[in-house]
Amino acid sequence: MIYCASDLHGDYTKYRSLLEKISLRDRDTLYILGDVIDRGPDGIKILRDMMVRPNVVPILGNHEFVAAACLGWLLDDITEESLAALGPAQLGALQGWMNNGGTPTFLAVCALSREEREEILEYIKEMELYAQVEAGGRSFLLVHAGLDHFSPEKDLEDYDLEDFLFCRPERNQLYDLDQYLVYGHTPTRSLRHQLGEPPADTILRRGSQIAIDCGCGFGGCLGCLCLNTMEEFYV
């Protein structure tokens, strides 16, 4: 079976509960569509668990992207002196990360050895921007946030990195694709508000697009979709 979830935002308990709920086996695959870290306390703990599971496949999220930009110069000991030596651009990037929920991740990184920090950084650098998957007789495009500057004539290789990471689908946004587009990033409660629907922390399906960020980072659910059967799971 092939599953996908997104936007765990440091909730290790829900992550482990999800693995148990779907009874993830070695022959199964679970795609995590970005934003494993930040907001919650255990993003690094989740990443380190994912790193030893070949069948848990990460897709890059905007929070991993921002964190990686800082981790490159946070490999050495993090002290008041080393932080004071950072240049304006580095301080700005670090402050932006903290303001967007990065403080728990930063504190967890501080507790790691240099070798462990290098492993985390390398793992993030190896994350793909998207995955194309066949399951249950259907085709899926898995991304973090959507496809910004969408055009049906545009090849995936022609999109910019930011188009996959920071897109916020508009109320009437429909993607003319020959496959299902599955994404996270924007909680489904927010998407439902745009559509004038009652709020609900559940997976939102609109034609060939499926939003699966069920608000785990904001007190909601961690949702998961089985691509073979289209069954939904929640913890």
The string of pLDDT tens digits covering residues 2-50 is 999 999 999 999 999 999 999 999 999 999 999 999 999 999 999 999 9
C-alpha to C-alpha distance for 168 and 150, rounded to whole angstroms: 12
> 2-64+126-234 domain in CATH 3.60.21.10?
yes
Residues of the chain with pLDDT under 70: 171
pLDDT, tens digit (0-9, with 9 covering 90-100), for 120-130:
999 999 999 99
Q: How close are the terminal C-alpha atoms of the chain, in Å?
A: 19
Beta-carbon contacts of 73 under 8 Å, excluding residues fewer than 6 positions away, are 86, 90
The pLDDT of residue 170 is 75
C-alpha–C-alpha distance, residues 76 and 61, integer Å: 24
Going edge to edge, which strands form the sheet with 130-135? Answer: 130-135, 138-143, 180-183, 209-211, 204-206
Q: What is the CB neighbour count within 10 angstroms for residue 26?
A: 8
pTM of the model: 0.95
Residue 135's pLDDT is 98
User: For residue 160, what are the CA distances in angstroms to 36, 148, 164, 169, 211?
Assistant: 22, 9, 7, 16, 21
Longest dimension (CA), the chain: 57
**Cα separation of 134 and 127, whole Å?**
20
pLDDT of residue 171: 67
Which amino acid type is present at position 73? W
